[in-house]
Structure 1
C-alpha cells in the first residue's frame, strides 16, 4: 500500500554548524571583574563590523572559522628567521591552531534571543586535568592573543595587526626594546583614531590586577607615540575557575581609551613610521599601494605555507569575483560562503560543465580562483587569491634578502664552549638583528614590488606561480565550512575537534 505523509508534516534535517556566542563587555577602562549574573545575562546582539560599539554588554555571535582565522594571523613575529626557513611556515600554523583544538570545546546553552547560536566556548577536561600549570599559562597567552585578534580585526574592522617586537607605528626604536613594558600588537583602522595599540590578557578568573598590568603596558606604548592620537585597546579573556570548568564558559572584556593628539614641542621631530599609514583594508588594495603592502605582509605566513610547506589537498577554489561585495556578515569580517549567493551561483554553473584544469576555471566569467591548502593534522584549509599570492611571491625574496644581509653583517657567532650566552645576551642580539631587519626593509621599494606582482597575476598561471606544481580543481566539498574576505580564504572541516558532535 502506498503511504503519503500528512500535508502538515515537516522534514527536519540535522546539519552541523560552527556558530557560537561570546559575551563581551565594552568599557572605558579596567574595572572590577564582572559578576556571573552579568556575563551570563548578556543578550544584546553585536552591532556588526563597524568599529568600536557603545559601552555595555553584548552577546557577540560569531563562527569558529572566524576565530581560527584570527589564530592563523596573530602571534609572535619570527621574521627574519622564517624568511630564511619558509618550509617551517606549516609548522608555525600548526602551533597556532592545535592548542585551540587541544583545550577548547563547544557546549550547548540556552539561547537568550532568537538570533543567538545557543553554544559557547568552554575549556575541556584535558585543560583542567591533563595539563600542567606552565602549559595552561602558555595556552592562556595564545588564547588571549587569538581572541584579541578576533575582536579587533574580526569584529571591529581593524586592519592587519603586527607585533610590536617588529616595530611600532611611529618608528621609535623603543618599540623594539623587549625589556620595557609594551603592548602586544598594533594596527590601523579606516575610521578614527587611525592607530590602535592592543594588549591581550587571558587567564583563569581574570581580574582587575591583571588588567591594570595590561594598562601599564599600553601606557608604555603610548609614551612612544610622540603625541599622535591613538586608541588603547585592552582585551581580556576570562577562563573559568578550576571548580567551575564544566559550568562556566569564556567571556571577554574590552577596555578602550582614546588618547588625543598633542602639539609637538618646537625643535622635536617625529620618527619616520616603519609602516604605511593606511588601514590595510583588503577592499582598497586595487588602488591603494599602502593597503596592498600591509595586506601582503600580513599574509606571508599563509603564502609560505602554500608555496613552500608540505600542505595537503592543494587545490583551486572558485569564488564569486565581486570582491568589494564580500564584506563580511553579522558574525564577523568573514563572508560565510554558504550565504554568499554569487559564489553559490558560480559553483552551480561550474557544476553543469566541470572545469578540468586551473586555466579553465580562470577563463570562466565572474569567477575568482583562490588557492587553498590543508594544514596537516588540523582540518583547517587556508588560502588566498591569485593576485595576492602573486604579490606575496614578489615580496618573499626581498624579505629573504634583508634577513640574509643581516646574518652576513652579524658575522660568525662564538661557539658555545667559547662563550656562555645567557638569556639576556641572546635577547639583546635578537633585538639588534630585528632592528637591522626592519631598517633594511624600509630601504627597499616593497610597494613597487608587490604592485608589480599584483598586476602581473592575470598573466601568470598557477603552475608558473607554484614553480611547476599544478593544483587540483575544487570539485565541491560539502564537509567544510568556508569563509573568505576580499583576498583570503579559510575553511574548517565538519570533523574539527571543537565542532565534533555539535548539532543544531
Structure 2
C-alpha cells in the first residue's frame, strides 16, 4: 500500500509526502522499526493487537500522531463525531484493517435505528442512547484545503495525547532539536551537508531517547488508552462543549473505519473509474 499526500502552499510551493508499507524485494518493515516488537506482536496489523500488546499500542499511536495533531488543532466549529459500530469484530473487512461504511448494512441499520429512536437534544443523552444501541462516536474533521476527513476513537486519541506529551518532554531535553531552540544565525557558517548531518544526529538522539523510554511508556499509554474509553470528548479535548454529533451523515462521502480510526473522502473528487 502506498499513501501519497500533497498540498500547495502560498507562493506555489508544493509539499509532497509518500508513505509505503513495502520495499521492493524485501519483507515489510517490522512495527515501530524493531524486529523484537514484530516477534512479540505476531502476524497481522498493529490495531489487531492493541488489546494484548503494549508495543502494538505504542506503534499504532505513533503512526497516528499526525492525525491526532490535526484533530487537536482544529477549531471547535470544524469538529464533529460520527457513529461507528462499537463491536470492532462485527465490521466486515474488505482488505486489511479497513471496513467501508457507506454500504455496510450493519452500520447503516444501526445509524437508522438511532435516528429513529432518538428524540432528545442533550448531547450526553444522545451519546448514551447511541452507545446502548451498539454505536460509538469517533472524532472527525475535514483537513483544510482537502476533501479528506480523518478521525479516531476516544481510546486512541487519549493514547496519542499521552505519547505526544512524552515526545515533547524528550524534545525539550534534546539540545537544538526544536527549531525554536536554535538562534537565527547559528548555522550560517555550516555547509548544507554539515547542517543535514547535524539534523540527522539530533533525530538519531531523539529516536534513541524514545526507545529508552519504551519500558516506561508501556503502562502510561495503556492507562491512557483504557481511561479514554470512559471519557467524553469534552474532557479529552478540554473544551466546554461536546463536538456536534452527526447522525445524518453526508451522502457525498465515502467512509471507512479501522478498529480505532476513521477516514472519509468526497466521492465527487475521486477520478472516474477506468473501464
**Alignment TM class, shorter chain as reference:** 0.7 to 0.9
Q: 1:428 deviation in Å?
A: 1.2
1:296 alignment partner in structure 2: 61
Equivalent in 400, 416, 421 of residue 185 of structure 2: 416
Q: 1:486 deviation in Å?
A: 0.8
1:276 alignment partner in structure 2: 37
1:429 alignment partner in structure 2: 198
1:337 aligns with 2:108: no
Q: How many residues align?
A: 255
1:474 aligns with 2:239: no
Q: 1:334 deviation in Å?
A: 1.8
Given that residues 370 and 384 in structure 1 are in contact (C-alpha distance below 8 angstroms), is that contact kept between their aligned partners in structure 2?
yes
Report the TM-score when normalising by structure 2: 0.79
Higher relative contact order (CA 8 A, sep 6+): 2
Higher Rg of the two aligned structures: 1
* Runs of 4+ with deviation above 4 angstroms: 272-275, 408-415, 501-504
Q: Give the distance between the partners of 2:187 and 2:116, measured in 1 at CA.
A: 69
Report the TM-score when normalising by structure 1: 0.45
1:239 alignment partner in structure 2: none
Which consecutive unaligned segments of at least 5 residues does structure 1 have?
Answer: 1-65, 72-95, 100-130, 153-197, 199-232, 235-255, 260-271
Which of the two has greater helix per residue?
2
Q: Give the distance between the partners of 1:456 and 1:494, measured in 2 at CA.
A: 36
Matched residue SS, 2:67: helix
Q: 1:429 deviation in Å?
A: 1.1
Q: Give the distance between the partners of 1:493 and 1:275, measured in 2 at CA.
A: 40
Given that residues 81 and 244 in structure 2 are in contact (C-alpha distance below 8 angstroms), is that contact kept between their aligned partners in structure 1?
yes
2:51 alignment partner in structure 1: 286
Matched residue SS, 2:254: strand
2:172 alignment partner in structure 1: 404
Q: 1:446 deviation in Å?
A: 1.6
Taking a change above 3 Å as real, the CA distance of residues 415 and 381 of structure 1, as seen in their structure-2 partners, is closer
Taking a change above 3 Å as real, the CA distance of residues 402 and 310 of structure 1, as seen in their structure-2 partners, is same
Q: Give the distance between the partners of 2:185 and 2:117, measured in 1 at CA.
A: 63
Given that residues 82 and 137 in structure 2 are in contact (C-alpha distance below 8 angstroms), is that contact kept between their aligned partners in structure 1?
yes
Q: 1:276 deviation in Å?
A: 3.0
Q: What are the superposed Cα offsets for residues 433-483 of structure 1, whole Å, 9 maximum, x if unpaired?
A: 111111222232221121111111133110010111521111322111101
Taking a change above 3 Å as real, the CA distance of residues 415 and 481 of structure 1, as seen in their structure-2 partners, is closer
Matched residue SS, 1:378: coil
Q: Give the distance between the partners of 1:276 and 1:493, measured in 2 at CA.
A: 37
Which consecutive unaligned segments of at least 5 residues does structure 2 have?
Answer: none
Q: 1:416 deviation in Å?
A: 2.8
Pairwise mapping of residues 10-409 of structure 1 onto structure 2 (< 5 A)? 70-71=3-4, 96-98=5-7, 142=17, 145-146=18-19, 149=20, 152=21, 198=22, 233-234=23-24, 256-257=25-26, 273=34, 276-277=37-38, 278=41, 281-310=46-75, 313-326=78-91, 328-330=93-95, 333-354=97-118, 356-363=121-128, 364-365=131-132, 366-407=134-175
